[in-house]
Structure 1
């Protein structure tokens, strides 16, 4: 009996330790096992928290409890120090229930047959989680579809792009909210199940316009969202190298974004010319309608060709690239019947989207938060904007994530032209910046060192740009 209890506790510690680590990694990477094992940014963590525990359990099945008792608090402090901690959703809770159930079954079998059975607890829990996902997703999907179909007056606007989706969504909401009852997906919710959850929990039955964004990691992701939502209007923004690691080519990215045109109810589409489509009665380009862009640290001025003439717009939004994002929203709002005077007035009042060239303070230090801008075009434009500042300029960045090496090399050249000091906050691009940056640079070993580094290295009158952000697991 004593040996039985000891073995159960030992195997439970083993399975819960590796389960806690693996479900954390899966949550970071949208529960995609392939991404966790083939696109993981901290492979040594797999060695510490997966490989070593398995080896210990295999070599010392009855005597490894001490190791796992030590590993448990290590995992606790590891989770405490990372910036994307495990969120105990229903899915995660069910995963641990599966782990406990299989551990109990195999602990009994181990005494009768072999301890190796307990190594099956984790893979079987993952399979059970997949089955749980399948049935729960079907239920929630059907529930959301019924809710959409019940509101016959609802008009859905779908937004996708390599970058700028969330900004376009927020800008468009500000242009429409005074004339319609509008709802937009929160934060950066852009997956099918995220959208379904949002519809079920947050979309009111009297909503007139639902604005949602669609993201993708593989071909078919946007098609799946499009066929579910059947939007009447879609905006496809600029096509670029974002997530090139997954799509392998710009053409593959382009074809995936164009899946947004597959809606059976499509009435109008506003596209960036990088989509390489042809204009027709349904499709209209937006970026070739804009001209005379003037961008500085006070905001934007630009003109949009509409109703057979150029109209002037002014905005307090920073960044030349945002003129294009605003232009797409202007054309969409105009299509929906909003008067030009109202559009111009609202454009002048729109504030920066949180973490997207958002001015945090101008004194004593000029601080700009551009943490959610993670593409070459947007980041390089913000750097050139900062170059206009008359004073010392400091950049805080991990570089660009999920792109080829050349993108960060090009970025480093622009950093050299625009800043006096660069603080690199992630290891993923550290080797590139160590080699390519000719200005003063500080490469942090841990992201947690940033606060003390800024306090030590910056002074009043400095401009500090927080450009892109990478979680600590990168």
Structure 2
């Protein structure tokens, strides 16, 4: 009888372990999702976790489960305690599943090949964790082990990252080597590198429009500015017939631009702007400047650099390269290409480009904002270097389409929106407010603020709030905790707080907009944070 009881007990634990594994799937998926939104970087993930622990409501459910678990453990009857623990696990699984179904993710988990490898490792780690649930005979310890399974996946991310990291590095190295060989085989290909804290993607798209007037050119798509994104573009899209390759290069760590420059080896380099973006990972503004300017310093002496003289950090940097440089700007007069006579309207912008030789060439574009005009200047400088005529440049600039989610004017349900939702930054947000100021009707702004600005994040968001006065009439803030600095700025500048509204989600923000706005009004969407940072 004792043997049969042991078999029954063992089978019960196996069945219960299978139940637990199913219960762990949602936390497992959520942990991977947040790890992905933190760019697969354990350091970012740890900082995100610390920020989550500061929010008291995130503690309610875990504390409740812990109290219930302790209640199960102190039940004197062993069998009754086990049954209570099972029902507690079923309750946790049911609540977790319900909460997951109610969530409307801004950026769902992208199940890439890398994520599939991570899922496989996480499955193994989960199974290893559940072995004690079968083997443990001490009831209180077994019950605690079972309850811990509800949250262990948040910690299993770290061994998973440690296990998969060497494989990811080998895969990355292999495919980058193949891509580099493809680039070498295109010995006549003109390669252009673009970097900066902001303005990279917009400048790249404008440059593509301009150069397509004369060349068969290939830009890296969307925000494919990482080593693997660039590698995919080269391996899958670059053809022998391409004459120009426009490569956007992103960086959020020291060494990133240097690595990409050694990889692509462009002959032309463009640095759009430098500011306090990714301070958490760079560590200092000085590191950001030094790294971004590698774009110019790693060019061959026979290469060609294009730089924004309005940016103080670029203007004051001593460049350790003797290659020719073309400067552009709006505020600075001593430049090769300067935008003057700028005017904005609902239909776009008009301006003249004043050259160092004294010519003034008129331009029109549907794009809005001075930073977009600066991006056009940068593209024009590259175009002129490559022999594109002024007539071709005027035609191309007039045809430039909005870059998705970057001051993109669009109609949604009959309402006029200025969509500037992608990766807001201090310069871009200030420009977008100036654009909103010129718009008709009641002016709305919907924003969760800015992130990834290190110790200056609070100060910059407070300044953002102060700049809203006289530019916006109604302010809708998404996320109470993260928008507190904006509220401070609004109060400091004397904004009428009766017209400031704080909501929890983007969905609620849109509902409020549709309730308050008229079709003649203008709504600015400034930044759209990933789910991991919406608080």
TM over 0.5: yes
Counterpart CA distance in 1 for 2:409 and 2:21 is 50
Residue of structure 2 equivalent to 1:360? 410
1:425 and 2:484 aligned: no
Question: Does the aligned pair in 2 maintain the 1:158–1:235 contact within 8 Å?
Answer: yes
1:93 and 2:138 aligned: no
The within-5 A match list for 1:213-252 is 213-252=248-287
Match of 2:488 among 435, 445, 455: 435
* Count of equivalent residues: 473
Residue of structure 1 equivalent to 2:444? 394
Which segment is superposed worse, 366-375 or 111-120? 111-120
Can you give the 5+ residue segments of structure 1 that lack an aligned partner in the other structure? none
Secondary structure of 2:107's match?
coil
Question: Does the aligned pair in 2 maintain the 1:396–1:465 contact within 8 Å?
Answer: yes
Residue 444 of structure 1, CA deviation: 0.8
Residue of structure 2 equivalent to 1:268? 304
Which segment is superposed worse, 89-98 or 55-64? 55-64
1:196 and 2:219 aligned: no
Counterpart CA distance in 2 for 1:179 and 1:194 is 26
Residue of structure 2 equivalent to 1:70? 94
Residue 390 of structure 1, CA deviation: 4.1
1:461 and 2:520 aligned: yes
Question: Does the aligned pair in 2 maintain the 1:99–1:121 contact within 8 Å?
Answer: yes
Counterpart CA distance in 1 for 2:65 and 2:430 is 44
Give the greater-gyration-radius structure (CA): 2
Change (3 A) 1:122 1:414: closer
Residue of structure 1 equivalent to 2:210? 175
Counterpart CA distance in 2 for 1:406 and 1:112 is 54
Question: Does the aligned pair in 2 maintain the 1:179–1:338 contact within 8 Å?
Answer: yes
Residue of structure 1 equivalent to 2:39? 30
Counterpart CA distance in 2 for 1:74 and 1:223 is 47
Change (3 A) 1:159 1:16: same
Residue 15 of structure 1, CA deviation: 4.8
Match of 1:345 among 369, 381, 395: 395
When the two chains are superposed, the root-mean-square deviation of aligned CA atoms in Å is 3.1
Residue of structure 2 equivalent to 1:294? 342
Residue of structure 2 equivalent to 1:19? 28
1:285 and 2:336 aligned: no
Q: Deviations over 1:234-291 (max 9, x none)?
A: 1011112222343343322211211223536461111123312457542332223304
Counterpart CA distance in 2 for 1:286 and 1:173 is 18
Counterpart CA distance in 2 for 1:86 and 1:251 is 34
Which segment is superposed worse, 1-10 or 16-25? 1-10
Counterpart CA distance in 2 for 1:92 and 1:209 is 33
Change (3 A) 1:47 1:261: farther
Residue 66 of structure 1, CA deviation: 2.1
Q: Deviations over 1:46-103 (max 9, x none)?
A: 758999989999997974632442254145325x412111121122222222222344
Residue of structure 1 equivalent to 2:175? 140
Match of 2:371 among 321, 339, 351: 321
1:6 and 2:12 aligned: no
Q: Deviations over 1:387-409 (max 9, x none)?
A: 22342211112222223222122
Question: Does the aligned pair in 2 maintain the 1:176–1:182 contact within 8 Å?
Answer: yes
Question: Does the aligned pair in 2 maintain the 1:13–1:65 contact within 8 Å?
Answer: no
Change (3 A) 1:121 1:459: closer
Secondary structure of 1:418's match?
coil
Counterpart CA distance in 2 for 1:159 and 1:96 is 34
Secondary structure of 1:303's match?
strand
Residue 164 of structure 1, CA deviation: 0.7
Counterpart CA distance in 1 for 2:171 and 2:63 is 32
Counterpart CA distance in 1 for 2:127 and 2:230 is 37
Secondary structure of 2:531's match?
coil
Q: TM-score, normalised by structure 1?
A: 0.89
Residue of structure 1 equivalent to 2:77? none
